[in-house]
C-alpha cells in the first residue's frame, strides 16, 4: 500500500517539492523479552503500557485526532487463533506451522478489495502454501480520528499452514517469497493501496495511524487474555519530514527504527547495482521475483527490506544486522583478529547503512537491538529479577522496584544486545561478536582470496613552482584568494583547522556564473540538526 502523497518520480503533481526518497523519522521505540522464552499476556500488556509512555515522542494534529503512527510486533498468538480455527472445524497438523498474514486491503468499500483477495489467495497457492481462512480481526474503527478513519484500510488476516511435503526449514523462505510475489502481482494489476504488514509463522505486526494508548482499543485482539507472547517490539513514530501513512507506521516486518540512515541513497543504489550479479542456490530462477530488493518509501522500510532479504537467504537475523550496521572496526587497535577478519570480509560484500540510528529487531526466535557506529541514538536497557529484558529509547517506560533490577546499562557505539528465546539466552555485545567471528574461518579466507592493490607511485615533485606558474595553476583548478588565505594557509603554516561558518551564501556551483572547482559540484548529505559534533581526538575511531 502506498500513501496518497507518495512520489514515484522526483516530483509529484500535487506536491511538487515533495519526494518520498527523502523520508526520515525520529521516534520512540523499544522491546520487552522474557529470556526464558515463556509466552504470557502480561508481557504484552506491559509492552503496550511502555508504548503509551512514549506518546510524547510522536506528533499529532491541532485537533489531537491524527497521529504519526504506533505499533507492536509480537509472536503469533497461537492459542487464540487455534481455538477459533477449531470452532470452525479446521485443524492444523502442526500448530507451530500456523502462519498469519496481516493485510491492509484498500479502503473499506473499495472495488479493488475483492481483486486483492483473489491475487493473494492465488499467489499463496502458487507458492505451495495451504490456505486456511480469511479472518476478520476484532477492530474498533471508531477510535480513529477523522483523517485516519477516512484513509483507514480494510484490515484482514490470512491464516495458512505448511503443507506436509514442504520442509519446515524452508517454510520462512517460502512465506517471504510468497509475499514478494504478491507485491509484484499487485503492482502488475496496478493496485497500489494494498499492503502486507507481515506474513510469517513466527511474528505478527499490529500498527496504524493511532495514538499509542489507542492501539489496544483499535486492535481488540491485543487485550484478549489468550494473546500471549515472549517478546514485544514497540514503536511510536515521529515523522520529521514525512506524511503519516498506515504502511509507514512501525514496526516494519522485522525491525523498528529511531533515527536516520544518512547513506540511504548510496545503499539503495549499490543494492540495485549488484542485483544483476546476485545468485543463490536457495532461490535459483525464483530470485528474479525478489527484485528489486529495496522497494519501500522510507529509510526504515528500505533497511527492513535489506534485512529481510538477507535473513531469508540463509543467514540469521543477528548476522544480517551486524552486516548492515557494523561497528567502527577500521581503526580499533583493540579489536581481536577474528572479529576484525569478520568485519573486513563482510565489508567486501555490503557497505554499511550508516547514520544516527537505534534499531530493535526480531524474527520471532531472536529479539535484539543495535546501535549505529557513532552511538548517536540512545538505547538503555534493564534486566529484571523476573528474567525480563527491557530496552527502550529512554528510561522509565516500565515502572520497576529497585530491588527487581538485576542489571542496567546502555548500548555503546556499534554495540548489540539480544535474547535467544529458543535457548533462553541473554547475549551481550562481546558474546554476539565472538560467536559470529568464529562461525567460519574468515581470517583464512582473507589470507587466501583477498588481494591488496599496490599503492600508486608518487607523482609529487620537490621542484619549486614559479610564482606566476603557481597562480596559473590555482586559477586552472578553481582556487580563489579566500581558499588560499582562509583554508590552506592556516592548515599549512599553523597546523590549524580552517574556521568557517555553517552557512554558505554562494550560489550552487551548477547555477553559478563563475567558474567553480570540480569539487564544488558535490555536497555531503548529513543530518546537521540531529548529529551532535564528534571530537576528532577522543572519538577518532569513528572518524
**Torsion over CA of 467, 471, 474 and 480, rounded to 10 degrees?**
120
Q: Check if the beta carbon of residue 354 is closer than 8 Å to that of residue 373.
A: yes
Using DSSP, how many helices (H) and how many strands (E) does the chain show? Answer: 15, 16
Write out the E strands in 184-283: 195-200, 203-208, 231-236, 255-259
Question: Rounded to whole angstroms, how far apart are CA atoms 100 and 202?
Answer: 8
Q: Which helix (H) or strand (E) holds 371?
A: strand 366-371
Phi, psi of 292 (to 5 degrees): -70, 150
Which sign, positive or negative, has the C-alpha torsion 258, 263, 264, 270? negative
Classify residue 400 as exposed, middle or buried by CB count within 10 Å of its CB (0-12, 13-18, 19+). Answer: middle
Q: Which helix (H) or strand (E) holds 71?
A: strand 70-75
Q: Check if the beta carbon of residue 203 is closer than 8 Å to that of residue 75.
A: yes
> Within 13 Å of residue 9, how many CA atoms lie on the same side as its CB?
6
Residue 27 among the catalytic residues:
yes
* Sheet of 366-371, strand order: 255-259, 357-362, 366-371, 416-420, 425-427
Question: Rounded to whole angstroms, how far apart are CA atoms 92 and 186?
Answer: 29
Q: Check if the beta carbon of residue 415 is closer than 8 Å to that of residue 321.
A: no
First and final C-alpha spacing in the chain: 39
Q: How far is Cα of residue 315 from the mean position of the Cα atoms in its chain?
A: 17
SS3 46: helix
Residue matched to cell numbers 551548477: 510
Question: Rounded to whole angstroms, how far apart are CA atoms 179 and 182?
Answer: 5
Question: Rounded to whole angstroms, how far apart are CA atoms 345 and 339?
Answer: 10
- The 10 Å CB-count burial string (b at 16+, else e) for 524-542 is eeebeebeeeeeeeeeebb
Query: Is the backbone peptide bond immediately before 271 cis, with ω within 30 degrees of 0?
Result: no
Question: Rounded to whole angstroms, how far apart are CA atoms 412 and 430?
Answer: 12
Q: Which of 27, 116, 162, 343 is catalytic?
A: 27
Output the nine-digit C-alpha cell for 180.
514478494
- Please name which of 157, 82, 161, 85 lies closest in space to residue 129, comparing C-alpha atoms: 161
Question: Rounded to whole angstroms, how far apart are CA atoms 390 and 424?
Answer: 15
Question: Rounded to whole angstroms, how far apart are CA atoms 365 and 398?
Answer: 23
Active-site annotation, residues: 27
Amino acid at each position: 500500500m502506498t500513501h496518497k502523497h507518495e512520489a514515484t518520480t522526483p516530483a509529484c503533481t500535487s506536491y511538487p517539492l515533495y519526494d518520498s526518497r527523502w523520508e526520515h523519522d525520529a521516534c520512540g521505540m523499544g522491546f520487552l523479552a522474557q529470556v526464558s522464552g515463556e509466552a504470557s499476556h502480561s508481557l504484552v500488556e506491559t509492552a503496550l503500557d511502555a508504548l503509551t509512555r512514549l506518546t510524547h515522542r510522536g506528533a499529532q494534529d491541532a485537533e489531537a485526532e491524527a497521529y504519526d503512527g504506533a505499533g507492536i510486533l509480537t509472536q503469533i498468538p497461537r492459542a487464540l487463533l487455534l481455538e477459533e480455527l477449531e470452532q470452525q472445524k479446521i485443524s492444523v497438523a502442526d500448530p507451530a506451522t500456523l502462519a498469519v498474514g496481516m493485510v491492509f486491503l484498500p479502503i473499506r468499500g473499495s472495488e479493488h478489495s475483492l481483486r486483492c483477495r483473489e491475487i493473494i489467495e492465488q499467489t499463496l497457492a502458487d507458492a505451495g502454501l495451504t490456505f486456511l481462512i480469511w479472518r476478520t480481526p476484532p477492530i474498533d474503527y471508531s477510535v480513529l480520528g477523522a483523517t485516519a478513519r477516512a484513509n483507514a484500510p480494510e484490515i484482514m488476516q490470512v491464516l495458512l499452514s505448511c503443507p506436509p511435503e514442504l520442509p519446515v526449514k524452508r517454510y520462512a523462505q517460502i512465506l517471504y517469497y510468497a509475499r514478494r510475489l504478491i507485491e509484484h502481482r499487485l503492482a502488475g494489476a496496478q493496485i497500489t493501496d494494498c499492503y502486507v504488514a507481515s506474513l510469517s509463522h513466527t511474528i505478527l505486526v499490529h500498527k496504524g495511524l493511532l495514538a499509542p494508548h489507542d492501539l489496544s482499543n483499535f486492535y481488540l485482539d491485543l487485550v484478549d487474555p489468550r494473546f500471549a507472547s515472549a517478546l514485544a517490539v514497540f514503536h511510536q513514530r515521529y515523522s520529521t519530514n514525512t506524511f503519516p501513512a498506515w504502511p509507514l507506521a512501525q514496526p516494519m516486518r522485522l525491525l523498528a527504527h529511531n533515527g536516520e540512515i544518512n547513506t540511504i541513497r548510496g545503499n539503495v543504489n549499490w543494492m540495485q547495482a549488484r542485483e544483476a550479479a546476485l545468485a543463490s542456490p536457495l532461490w535459483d530462477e525464483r530470485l528474479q521475483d525478489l527484485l528489486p530488493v529495496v522497494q519501500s518509501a522510507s529509510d526504515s522500510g528500505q533497511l527492513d527490506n535489506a534485512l529481510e532479504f538477507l535473513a531469508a537467504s540463509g543467514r540469521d537475523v543477528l548476522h544480517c544486522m551486524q552486516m548492515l550496521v557494523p561497528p567502527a572496526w577500521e581503526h580499533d587497535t583493540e579489536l581481536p583478529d577474528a572479529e576484525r577478519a569478520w568485519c573486513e570480509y563482510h565489508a567486501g560484500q555490503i557497505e554499511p547503512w550508516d547514520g544516527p540510528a537505534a534499531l530493535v529487531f526480531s524474527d520471532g526466535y531472536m529479539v535484539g537491538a543495535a546501535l549505529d557506529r557513532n552511538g548517536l541514538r540512545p538505547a538503555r536497557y534493564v534486566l529484571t529479577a523476573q528474567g525480563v529484558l527491557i530496552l527502550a529509547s529512554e528510561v522509565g517506560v516500565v515502572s520497576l522496584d529497585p530491588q527487581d533490577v538485576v542489571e542496567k546499562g546502555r548500548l555503546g557505539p556499534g554495540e548489540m544486545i539480544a535474547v535467544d528465546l529458543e535457548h533462553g539466552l541473554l547475549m551481550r555485545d562481546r558474546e554476539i561478536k565472538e560467536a559470529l567471528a568464529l562461525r567460519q574461518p574468515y581470517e583464512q579466507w582473507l589470507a587466501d582470496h583477498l588481494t591488496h592493490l599496490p599503492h600508486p607511485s608518487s607523482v609529487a615533485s620537490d621542484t619549486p613552482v614559479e610564482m606566476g606558474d603557481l597562480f596559473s595553476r590555482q586559477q586552472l583548478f578553481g582556487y580563489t584568494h579566500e581558499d588560499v588565505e582562509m583554508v590552506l594557509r592556516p592548515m599549512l603554516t599553523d597546523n590549524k583547522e580552517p574556521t568557517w561558518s555553517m552557512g554558505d551564501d554562494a550560489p550552487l556551483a551548477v547555477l553559478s556564473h563563475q567558474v567553480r572547482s570540480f569539487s564544488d559540484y558535490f555536497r555531503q548529505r548529513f543530518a546537521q540538526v540531529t548529529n551532535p559534533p564528534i571530537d576528532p581526538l577522543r572519538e577518532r575511531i569513528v572518524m
